[in-house]
Structure 1
């Protein structure tokens, strides 16, 4: 049922079998043969060949194909979302959001590309006309994360198709199935052969071939900082462009004048949504000691309505399983480390007593910077809370991390909001409420990566700028 999309054909992999686990049950969902080195190379070569014609099509011509893909995806939504729930354990509404971001991004970039203007550079000597034009980069290889499989496809495929690039996409081996169904939709929509290739396999085989190849003009990835470093090293066989959205360790700052109850609700929602498996999830929560009780009341009001489950299970706030057994053990290890160093478990703190990879939504207090939950990206349902007072340098605390992806500030003082936002090292700062949209640039600084997804800025990454000067 699940096939690789290579050079316009849906084919089975010729490599080793891959077991895809349903994290809700912990049992094998599907076994699929993976792609080999030879098949990955074929995908790269087909993308290179397809670029010659796809890049020369007009925006209007590409628009027709992209809209056909959107239509097919809409027709196949129920099937794809059902598959997505099975391989990720997401709640139905989260899975639907994950899916919807793919056609939404395709439609957005279909329009945004029409607004991407060139430029006339003022003449220096009255003897030349100088123009700047954008040309599509070429073949893009995409390494995608498992936490939002289809949103991640949308972030990449939208600007790739609109710009005139072609691609080879590698979904995570933990959650490849829904993305493979997208490959079927690409085929059904009649996207020209080789424009989109989707290959599934191990990093040691598929990723290595993709990265070491001299065919790609751009390598893009959503994943951990450690994997990003390895990717850059592997891909140094040629000069390439990079767009890497890597790890995060997002601070939350709740000032003494904030609506602390609302801050508690919003932070809990952000922390436990998608089981905390979100790159921009709140990670280190700094609450002014004078409003700590009010903040905790907000957290409790949200957590009191949490239920564990997936799909269409009942529950106002449904929290699903972690992606795999390794992630579950990591939560246990993080809490054990924190408790051994003086932290107190306020709520949760252990594996749920049910099948699958469920961990209780957990709140830790009395946390300090010696603990792993302060230093590492948690990527799970653990909320560590730190209190601070007026004497604390809260900006220094927020910036005390190698990461710089997202941050959150709660205050009623606009001047304070602007001051903190500008001093915090993060690609995105949200004040008084988390807010993300594909119209807004998304990406980090420091060890959280380079480049941007989403928005016009994200689209520009898929072009090279060419200067043309004409002698009068």
Structure 2
């Protein structure tokens, strides 16, 4: 397979997208991006400086008044063009995404497809940017509540979904009249940079979208604390989200955070077991578990525990691990740091008396290079062990038996996280109890994971603030302005 590179799209090794142009970074530092499959070099990119971030913010501020003055439909037209260009370049984008991030090519195609769907939803929302008119207290007076753009958005994205997360920030920001500076994760910047070139080809005005590449604790932190950014939208880890929250607090800056998860997967004794098993495997091992919404701990009614686990383990053992461009189910981890983290989690689980019930072992030359970790399944008898409390973000899962739905709910809610949860039952009363008693922002009932562009993706507790997607996600990129209009 011949993978297109940044250079195929006209992007140089040290270039950033600022002010509608490809410009050289002010820093001579460069970062080598390696393929997680075999550690081979994929591309060299700039390692942006503070000066680069300042230039990007200045370009965004300069462009915002004219962009904000455009009609929502004018802005939507350009977003539709961008979505069309993504579709036209879907395969090269997917191949590049797999090369830099190790995601299965089939999963990369989903990532790219979801990005264009998110942009189209944002564009379609242009006709639904509504204000309110209320009667005033006095005669000849009305109260107008307008929704207006913040100004300049800083969009900081994670490494696991470069295309979709770019669209999740850019679409809502642009359709509501904001301009944006995007900082992709330093491990996976290539797809985002190519998307910047597609923004240029779509005719999005100079400075409306800007992209800088660099370390989160330097360039990212500078964008958060910069007096020229008005709203921060970040997807990433709880650690990084906490640091960003603290930085933004210095200026009382609005912060929207989509962070980690530890999704409980509850299966009751009346559930369709085969359907639940299939969803459990899919929801755990999509992108090898490197998804914040993935199935990360299973609570199985004692009556069906053994039956479920026998079928689940059989399916896990049948998963093929290998080169993500081939017909496999699980690819490499993004980095060796992630591999070592998982190794420590497994060792800690064994120390805490978790039972290892399935662990695949690498064989063959494919795994001599690259960042590999194989599907691993534990059984536990306590909800207090680390493997049931800490986000794994990898192909490691633990399960425990519960006596009833009450116990499952209690264990599920006993967590610092509150992003996603799964419930499998045919009992509508239990489903309604899940609505009222399961304290998570997103619940999947009798189905595997997977958001829709018009849903609302939001977390509770340490899983984040704000939320994304749908009408409510778009509203997060606007603030309200109240006008008391006396026309006497």
Scaled by the length of structure 1, the TM-score of the pair is 0.95
1:356 to 346, 367, 370: 370
| Aligned residues of 1:265 and 1:298 also touching (Cα < 8 A) | no
Residue 322 of structure 1 aligns with which residue? 333
Give the C-alpha shift of residue 301 in structure 1. 4.8
Residue 208 of structure 1 aligns with which residue? 221
Q: Hey, what's the Cα distance between the residues in 1 that align with 2:319 and 2:60? A: 45
Q: Hey, what's the Cα distance between the residues in 1 that align with 2:414 and 2:362? A: 30
Residue 470 of structure 2 aligns with which residue? 455
Residue 79 of structure 2 aligns with which residue? 66
Question: For 1:425, what is the secondary structure of its paired residue?
Answer: coil
Give the C-alpha shift of residue 10 in structure 1. 0.8
Deviations 1:227-250 (A, max 9, x none): 111112223342321110011111
2:160 matched to 1:147?
Answer: yes
2:274 matched to 1:261?
Answer: yes
Q: Hey, what's the Cα distance between the residues in 1 that align with 2:134 and 2:363? A: 62
2:291 matched to 1:291?
Answer: no
After superposition, residues 146-165 of structure 1 pair within 5 angstroms as 146-165=159-178
Most deviating of 2-11 and 52-61: 2-11
Give the C-alpha shift of residue 309 in structure 1. 2.5
Residue 230 of structure 2 aligns with which residue? 217
| Aligned residues of 1:121 and 1:131 also touching (Cα < 8 A) | yes
Q: Hey, what's the Cα distance between the residues in 2 that align with 1:391 and 1:265? A: 21
2:452 matched to 1:437?
Answer: yes
Q: Hey, what's the Cα distance between the residues in 1 that align with 2:481 and 2:406? A: 50
1:6 to 18, 22, 31: 18
Most deviating of 354-363 and 35-44: 354-363
Residue 376 of structure 1 aligns with which residue? 390
Residue 409 of structure 1 aligns with which residue? 423
Question: For 2:426, what is the secondary structure of its paired residue?
Answer: coil
After superposition, residues 113-152 of structure 1 pair within 5 angstroms as 113-152=126-165
Deviations 1:183-220 (A, max 9, x none): 11112222111100010011232112211111111001
Closer, same or farther: CA 370–226 of 1 in aligned 2, 3 Å: same
Give the C-alpha shift of residue 430 in structure 1. 1.1
| Aligned residues of 1:261 and 1:299 also touching (Cα < 8 A) | no
Give the C-alpha shift of residue 64 in structure 1. 2.5
Q: Hey, what's the Cα distance between the residues in 2 that align with 1:350 and 1:225? A: 31
2:117 matched to 1:104?
Answer: yes
Give the C-alpha shift of residue 140 in structure 1. 0.3
Closer, same or farther: CA 285–378 of 1 in aligned 2, 3 Å: same
Deviations 1:291-320 (A, max 9, x none): 0122124413532442112443124xx111
Most deviating of 101-110 and 294-303: 294-303
Task: Count how many residue pairs are aligned between Structure 1 and Structure 2.
Answer: 470
Most deviating of 100-109 and 162-171: 100-109
Q: Hey, what's the Cα distance between the residues in 2 that align with 1:398 and 1:204? A: 33
Most deviating of 176-185 and 336-345: 336-345
Give the C-alpha shift of residue 415 in structure 1. 0.8
Scaled by the length of structure 2, the TM-score of the pair is 0.92
Question: For 2:69, what is the secondary structure of its paired residue?
Answer: coil
Q: Hey, what's the Cα distance between the residues in 2 that align with 1:294 and 1:116? A: 50
Q: Hey, what's the Cα distance between the residues in 1 that align with 2:209 and 2:351? A: 50
Deviations 1:11-56 (A, max 9, x none): 2323321121211113332222211111110000110111011000
Question: For 2:232, what is the secondary structure of its paired residue?
Answer: strand
Most deviating of 201-210 and 190-199: 201-210
| Aligned residues of 2:31 and 2:45 also touching (Cα < 8 A) | yes
Most deviating of 204-213 and 192-201: 204-213
Q: Hey, what's the Cα distance between the residues in 1 that align with 2:441 and 2:107? A: 24
Q: Hey, what's the Cα distance between the residues in 1 that align with 2:111 and 2:281? A: 20
After superposition, residues 188-207 of structure 1 pair within 5 angstroms as 188-207=201-220
Q: Hey, what's the Cα distance between the residues in 2 that align with 1:305 and 1:126? A: 74
| Aligned residues of 1:91 and 1:312 also touching (Cα < 8 A) | yes
| Aligned residues of 1:14 and 1:33 also touching (Cα < 8 A) | no
Q: Hey, what's the Cα distance between the residues in 2 that align with 1:170 and 1:185? A: 16
Residue 340 of structure 1 aligns with which residue? 351
Structure 1 residue runs without a partner (length 5+): none
Most deviating of 123-132 and 33-42: 123-132
Residue 35 of structure 1 aligns with which residue? 48
| Aligned residues of 1:349 and 1:363 also touching (Cα < 8 A) | no
Closer, same or farther: CA 59–260 of 1 in aligned 2, 3 Å: same
Which runs of at least 4 in structure 1 moved beyond 6 Å after TM superposition?
Answer: none
| Aligned residues of 1:262 and 1:298 also touching (Cα < 8 A) | no
